C-alpha cells in the first residue's frame, strides 16, 4: 500500500510514486526555504508550509499537541509501537481513502522520529489545487443551492464508507478550482463500520463550527435555512 524505510531513528512512510526521491530534507521547512521552493504558509496552532518541487505542490505539517497537555509536551507523544502513532494512522488512513476514490489530498510522505519512549511526527500531503475552505467562501458570498448539496453529498459519501473525522469543521472542507469538494486533516480519524450514532455527532460538530465562525466573523453569509438545506441533502444521501 505504501513504502516504509528507516533512516537513523527516523521512520519514513511514502507513497509509491514518490518513494525514490523522499529524504529527511523533505521534512525540513528551512531546507525548502534555502532551495527557494516555499510558496506559502498557513498559520494556525502551528505553521503549515507549502512548497513546490518538480511539479508537485505540497504542504508540510508538524504534529503539535493542543490544550493544556500541549503547553507541557508541545510536540512529544508516547511511543507504543509504529502502528499506534498518530502519524502512521493518519497516513495509512489517507492512503485507504484515496484507494476508495474519496476526495482527500494525496498523501506524499510522513516521518516518525523516535527517541526512547517519545516520538515526534510530520506529514506531507499534496495541495488541493485552488483550494478555498467553506469558511473562506462564506466570508465572500452565500453558497448556491448546488454548492450546499455538493458539501452534503461529499460528507455523506465519506460517512457511507464508514469514515469518521475527528474534527469535521468548515475549515476542513474545501472546494478545489473545479468546484469539487474535498475533506482534509484526518488526524485521529478512522474507519468505523458498522455504523452507530457517530455520523450524527460529526454533523453536530459541523453545525457548531458554522455557529462558532459566525460569531467570530463580522461578515459571514450563512443562515439557519442553509443548514437545514445542507442537512436534508445529507440525510437523503446517507445509506448507513
33-79: pLDDT as tens digits: 999 999 999 887 678 999 999 999 999 999 998 655 445 568 999 99
- Domain end, chosen from 126, 161, 182, is at 126
Short-list 27, 46, 189, CA closest to 112: 27
- Domain end, chosen from 126, 146, 171, is at 126
State how many domains the chain has: 2
Residue ranges in the chain whose pLDDT is less than 50: 69-70
- Please check whether residues 113 and 166 belong to one and the same domain: no
pLDDT of residue 70: 45
Active site residue 28: no
CA distance 106 to 36: 23
Cell 445529507 belongs to residue: 234
Q: Identify the active-site residue in 28, 75, 167, 176.
A: 167
Express each pLDDT in 182-204 by its tens digit. 999 999 999 998 767 899 999 99
- Please check whether residues 27 and 53 belong to one and the same domain: yes
Residue 209 has which C-alpha cell?
463550527
DSSP 8-class letter at 141: S
Domain CATH code at residue 216: 1.10.510.10
- Please check whether residues 151 and 51 belong to one and the same domain: no
Residue 178's domain spans which residues? 132-237
pLDDT of residue 46: 74
Amino acid at each position: 500500500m505504501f513504502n516504509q524505510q528507516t533512516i537513523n531513528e527516523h521512520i519514513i512512510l511514502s507513497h509509491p510514486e514518490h518513494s525514490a526521491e523522499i529524504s529527511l530534507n523533505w521534512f525540513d521547512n528551512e531546507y525548502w526555504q534555502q532551495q527557494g521552493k516555499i510558496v506559502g504558509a498557513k498559520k494556525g496552532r502551528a505553521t503549515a508550509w507549502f512548497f513546490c518541487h518538480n511539479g508537485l505542490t505540497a504542504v508540510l505539517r508538524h504534529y503539535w499537541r493542543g490544550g493544556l497537555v500541549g503547553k507541557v509536551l508541545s510536540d512529544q507523544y508516547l511511543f507504543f509501537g509504529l502502528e499506534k502513532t498518530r502519524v502512521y494512522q493518519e497516513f495509512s488512513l489517507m492512503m485507504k481513502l484515496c484507494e476508495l476514490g474519496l476526495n482527500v489530498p494525496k498523501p506524499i510522505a510522513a516521518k516518525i522520529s523516535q527517541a526512547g519512549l517519545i516520538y515526534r511526527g510530520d506529514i506531507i500531503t499534496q495541495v488541493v489545487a485552488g483550494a478555498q475552505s467553506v469558511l473562506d467562501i462564506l466570508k465572500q458570498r452565500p453558497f448556491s443551492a448546488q454548492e450546499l448539496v455538493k458539501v452534503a453529498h461529499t460528507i455523506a459519501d465519506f460517512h457511507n464508507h464508514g469514515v469518521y473525522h475527528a474534527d469535521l469543521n468548515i475549515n476542513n472542507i474545501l472546494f478545489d478550482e473545479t468546484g469539487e469538494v474535498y475533506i482534509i486533516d484526518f488526524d485521529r480519524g478512522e474507519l468505523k463500520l458498522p455504523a452507530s450514532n457517530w455520523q450524527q455527532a460529526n454533523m453536530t460538530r459541523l453545525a457548531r463550527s458554522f455557529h462558532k465562525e459566525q460569531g467570530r466573523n463580522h461578515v459571514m453569509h450563512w443562515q439557519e435555512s442553509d443548514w437545514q438545506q445542507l442537512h436534508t441533502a445529507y440525510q437523503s444521501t446517507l445509506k448507513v
